[in-house]
Structure 1
Amino acid sequence: MRIDIDSCEEILLTITRNKTRSLLTAFGVFWGIFMLVALIGGGQGMQNMMQKNFEGFATNSGFIWPQKTGEAYKGFRKGRWWRLNNDDVARVRQNVEGMAVVTPTVNRWGATTIYGDKKYSAIVKGLYPEYNHIETQQISYGRFINDVDVSEARKVCVIGKRVYESLFKVGEDPCGKFIRIDGIYYRVVGVCVSEGNININGQASESVVLPFSTMQQAYNLGHNIDMICFTVNPGVKVSSLQPEIERVVKEPHLISPDDKQAVMLLNAEAMFSMVDNLFIGIRILIWMVGLGTLLAGAIGVSNIMMVTVKERTTEIGIRRAIGARPRDILQQILSESMVLTALAGMAGISFAVLVLQVMDVATAKGATRYDFQVSFGLAVGTCVLLVALGMLAGLAPAYRAMAIKPIEAIRDE
């Protein structure tokens, strides 16, 4: 359909004559398209924010730690405490098929960390280098713990971002310098800048990592460990291995096979899947609400155009009497509907993008942005949808206008 300059002037003149009615109708379309674009952009930003929290964390991982027993078994009373040890790691690694990485961790909360006259209460973790497969360690200075550190029980450490900021000057290289942790000196070999927002054994930014063997010796832990972390091979689900893992862990500690409380297993894979399903549901809800609101606006446009056609019955009849073709009447009504819808829709898109930009700036953390925006393709698609809805909204009024007979229109006047 071609709309020339004269047609546009005529359309705008008609809209101006019905200013109040047109503004109310345009506001319905404006609000509908604003809701759709703002909800889509906001939902995308929230998803990006959640993914940032999970960034660097293995999605096929799991974690095991002990709890009080929930049942009496082989002479042991209910409510007994028990501990994991180094042998449990070897058992899980050797007896459960499908495991990729199995590594233990130990930790201490609230350890006093001192450098010079500065002090910080940190979380001390004893890790193997393999833990990097569970939670990626982004190193800004130096390196992470290696196998030689563990085999020789070296007194070295990797400090988190907040520990570094609290003990050292900005831009200062801490590698090679000694910090005191609970009365023992350790040489700093690296700085980890990972945030570690998933709170497994404490956030990485607030932690000091020691070689696993060094940690066991320094805190006299013997062979006891706090947690077993693992990942599974590609194509294997953590949930499918969970019964076998629990069996292998329970047997040597004389825990009832039916005890659901004694062994706590956190399935990170299920957690990530749940989050993905949640955002799929949110996106479906967003489209339902947005399209529903937009459709209501389009229906409003159609109703207003119906009223306009009824008020202009005489005008349309005279135009038909002096030679206007049905196609001309159809083009006029559809053009008015499409222009009204497009103008209101463009304003709604622009305002939604402005609001999303404000949200993006407000939620940014330094250089980290969560992209509360919509893609260019989505914006173009929304414009096409607007034009289509404007055409559909004008069809019924247009056909009603085409059905007006000149003699009946003049008689109606």
Structure 2
Amino acid sequence: MSISHRASAIAEKVETFVRDVIVPYEGDPRRDHHGAPTDELVMEMREKARAAGVLTPHILDDGDHLTQRETAVVLQKSGLSPLGPLAVNVMAPDEGNMYLLGKVGSDMIKERFLAPLVNGSARSAFFMTEPAAAGGAGSDPSMMQTTCRLDGNHWVINGRKAFITGADGAKVGIVMAKAADGAAAGGACMFLVDLPDPAIRIEHVPNTIDNSMPGGHATVIIDNLRVPADQMLGEAGEGFKYAQIRLSPARLSHCMRWYGCCVRAHEIASDYANRRMAFGKALIDHEGVGFMLAENLIDLKTAELMIDWCATVLDTGSLGTVESSMTKVSVSEALMRIADRCVQVMGGTGVTDATIVEQVFREIRAFRIYDGPTEVHKWSLAKKIKRDWKASNAED
């Protein structure tokens, strides 16, 4: 099944823009305390993306989205630089948040909160994960301890969140909390909030192995945050369902973007191996090196096919929870192997900042944890195997 002409044309424009305009920004010194691009740099690149007609390319002028298969080819091209997804406005968490608000948000929420994300003038944060030390929600959202309670025509939210990507500098927040009382007691709710808000305090922004996303991964305290009732996303108690609407495509989008980065890392490593001479011949002619690059091609094709398969399932309207788990595991592990081989092929140069290869290695290592670590997805798949077995043997 071929990709549409419109998607191919958009992807080609994005690739040209990223390679010609954004790659030169990779050495730009405008970075925060741990190397992430500053908002000044992000907004400058987005202005150039707007002028080139490639800003938020997966959302069309009429507000409709490309299909997941179409989105895949576009986001893969955006990932040819670690800065590319930021520049064309398809980076996490914004891309996933835009998808969720487009699916569930009221007209007011779309106008007030979604529109500035789509036009690239604002960043967002998704407040779900909580500190493990306090027994909060990490890979298991049912452990959520942040609470919300209705007080007149406002909801009051209290809790603590951790690893909130982009919270520092975000203008739009989606806050997830568990209803403390009422008809939705025990169920999760989602709320849209303007940021910054004095009731949401950034406690700590740790230095992490990755640094591609502005604002880092903050720990925040939510202290008596008051949110008007009409800023609830969807219905009270349905937050876990909405999280799944967001998470399955978001996992896949991560695969798309980091696939593009690994394509570029492989290009750099291949160029190095063909130019570098050692022991009387080019590195590529040594089997130990050439075979690693050959294995990269195999893993890249496997990852591409898994992404396309999962995207096809999501395009049928399925939540694709199982498929996205399988794809996230398969692709993240394949991309890790590719990034590791690229470093190995380049030797000492591969662990320096002379190229993006070392950053890609770090980013992919973090990706294996984010949006659910490999082990959680395998555990979930194992549970499905057990359920299916029980169902097929119910009459035995």
TM range (shorter): under 0.3
Higher relative CO (Cα under 8 Å, sequence separation at least 6) belongs to 1
Higher-Rg structure is 1
* TM-score, L = length of structure 2: 0.22
